[in-house]
Amino acid sequence: MKNILIALVTLLPSLTFAAGPSIPLESANIDLHDKASLQRGLGYFQQYCAGCHSTQYQRYGRVADDLGISVDDMRANYMFTDAKIGELMENAIPDEDAAKWFGATPPDLTLVSRVRGEDWVYTYLKSFYQDSSRPFGVNNTVFPMVGMPHALEELQGIAVKQADGSLVASGGTMTAQQYDDAVRDITAYLAYSAEPVRVERERLGMWVLGFLLIFFIVAFLLKKEYWKDVH
């Protein structure tokens, strides 16, 4: 029940926008075992996203432990407010101000990859393009009429939508491949954020399946032994 309520809290703010038409999504192809990728994703998120979006069901200390980051490193390189290491990862903008500036309060992103899917998050972050008719000068092919600026524009540059629907970006500090990798890292971090125990759950699942296999073999042999004299 608690997880359901958290998912609803995460999803409801996004319902103020149109869901947009369904388009083919690119495969995120993330690796939650790659802690270096998760660390980079956390860094990008904290630098470019956390000013508006929170991940308020995560704590700085838990994230540091899970991602192999020391407390001192976490404070120095990933915490840009006066929050304590044990506090929740909330954004710095009051909800009232955010709603005034953006038209709606930016949703918490702790569970966005569970609600939307990893491929959706990955494709969405790659799908901003220049649109002078929008308040922030950008639109998004995955989320049309999106009500936020392109937070990663510094990295990707300004993308222009071509006649065939493709996007061509220029002027960013990253090449197209570097930007794809950065977006994949952010997606991986948000996938971890949505389910911090996923890797451990999958590891334990393999042990459980192994135990059940061995138990089945033993039970099958016992059954043959007990029933061999029954005609």
Burial class from Cβ neighbours inside 10 Å (0-12, 13-18, 19+) for residue 85 reads middle
Instruction: Write out pLDDT tens, residues 121-162.
Output: 999 999 999 999 999 999 999 999 998 999 999 999 999 999
CATH code matching the domain that covers 2-196, chosen among 3.30.450.20, 3.40.50.1860, 3.30.390.50, 1.10.760.10: 1.10.760.10
Q: Quick one: average pLDDT of 89-108?
A: 80
Q: Structure pTM?
A: 0.81
* Element housing 222 (H / E): helix 198-227
**What does 91-153 look like in DSSP terms, one character per residue?**
-SS-HHHHHHHHSSPPPP-TTHHHHH-HHHHHHHHT-EEE-TTSTTSEEESSSTT--S--TTH
pLDDT tens digits, residue range 180-199?
Answer: 999 999 999 999 999 999 87
Please check the confidence at residue 88 and state whether its pLDDT lies above 90.
yes
- pLDDT attached to residue 38: 98
User: What is the C-alpha to C-alpha distance for residues 22 and 36, in angstroms, rounded to an integer?
Assistant: 32
- Give the pLDDT band of residue 226 (cuts 50, 70, 90): confident
Q: Which of 28, 58, 26 is nearest to 45 (CA)?
A: 58
Both structure tokens of 38: 């998760």
pLDDT at 13: 41
Q: What is the pLDDT of residue 94?
A: 74
Q: How high is the pLDDT of residue 229?
A: 74
Asked which of 104-108, 196-200, 226-230 is least confident by mean pLDDT, the reply is: 226-230
Q: Token pair of 2, please? A: 């608690």
Residue 132: exposure state from Cβ atoms within 10 A (0-12, 13-18, ≥19): exposed
Virtual CA dihedral for 56, 59, 64, 66, nearest 10 degrees?
A: -90
What confidence score (pLDDT) does residue 20 get?
46
Angle, helix 60-67 to helix 176-194, in steps of 10 degrees: 120
* Domain coordinates in residue numbering, the chain: 2-196, 205-231
On whether the CB atoms of residues 117 and 129 are closer than 8 A, the answer is: no
